[in-house]
Amino acid sequence: MSESVDRLRWLAGQMRRLLGEYFAGNVEVPMLVDRLETLINALAGFADSTWVEEMHVIWGQMEIPYAVSLDEGRSELTADERRSVDEAAEALRAMLEEYE
């Protein structure tokens, strides 16, 4: 395997683990959003640019509700915001299935 493939699988594994921890209730939205952004940005140098861009779009669907709650001075997401984050997290998890 090439170094790029190894790196891609490692980063995808980190994202899958993080998403699993989120759904298990061990990671809160702020940490999820921050770490996923870092991991997705790390992919940008060598992974398929279309795939990475799609991940950024889905990540944005998590980041926006979080940013709105911060802007409004709330420490908790509304039920609709939480649902948006959960749906985006599920979409990212589905994108990563091929790298299990």
pTM of the model: 0.91
Q: What pLDDT does residue 1 have?
A: 55
What value does the mean pLDDT of the chain take? Answer: 94
Which residues have CB under 8 Å from 7's CB, separation 6+? 46
Helices (H), 1-100: 3-23, 29-43, 49-71, 79-96
> What is the C-alpha separation between 84 and 95, in angstroms, rounded?
17
Q: What pLDDT does residue 51 have?
A: 93
When divided into structural domains, the chain yields a total of 1
Q: What pLDDT does residue 28 have?
A: 96
Taking CA atoms, 15 is separated from 41, 64, 79, 89, in Å, by 12, 19, 24, 10
Domain that holds residue 33: 3-99
Q: Is the pLDDT of residue 11 over 70?
A: yes
